[in-house]
Amino acid sequence: MSGGCPVDHTNPSSSPSCPVDPSSAPSTSSWSRFFGASSSHAPLSTERETSSIPRPNDGNWVYPSEAQFFAAMARKNHNPQAADMKTIVPIHNAVNERAWTEILKWEAGRGGEACGGIKLVNFQGKPNERSPKARWKTLLGYSAPFDRHDWIVDRCGVRTRYIIDFYTGHSQGTPDRNLSFYLDVRPALDSWEGVKMRVQHFFGT
């Protein structure tokens, strides 16, 4: 597990390293182009938003505050701009929520409700490791994903690894107000459960 985000709300001082983390090196160029350099030092909020993503034991994961996000990027020498945090953090949170929504679609009708719903156990960022599907799409001329994460989801004791490839979509108008992202979310083919889910999805069953 890489870091703790969505952030564990039992440890408010934890340093965030979150799904779709713009502080990761390959992600930085994709994210930073949406935000112009700024010399202003806007005050950074320490308020944190609770996600809709359940943790393994109780409660939900909690997203980092603007201050935590800024500090995480600064530690990695990515020259963050304080004024950009008010835009980056909500986008980061929204993309995480979208990823979880896509996972819920895959998990619908598979019995997770019997134990209170599926839960996100852990996750790992793999920005330098392209999935086989992403490599194939790149060979066909499509743009490469700007980030990749693997999320481990527990469904009543059955754990499934999901691969999430993050792509920059097409936007119109002012970039920082019309950001667009495409998420390719699917179970990994490293378990019988993942293979079964992919086959059923392919045939619409």
The pLDDT of residue 9? 36
> Can you state the percent helix, strand and coil of the chain, rounding each to 5?
35, 20, 45
pLDDT band at 18 (very low <50, low <70, confident <90, very high): low
Kindly report the pTM of this predicted structure. Answer: 0.80
Handedness of CA 33, 41, 86, 89 (dihedral sign): positive
pLDDT band at 27 (very low <50, low <70, confident <90, very high): very low
10 Å Cβ neighbour count for 173?
7
For the chain, percent of residues with pLDDT exceeding 90? 61
Count of all residues that appear for the chain in the document: 205
* Residue 97 phi, psi (nearest 5): -65, -40
Dihedral of the CA atoms 130, 135, 137, 142 (nearest 10)?
70
Q: Higher pLDDT residue, 49 or 9?
A: 49
Selection from 90, 101, 103 nearest residue 176 by Cα:
90
* Residue 89 phi, psi (nearest 5): -60, -50
For residue 35, give both structure tokens.
């935000």
List the chain domain ranges: 25-203
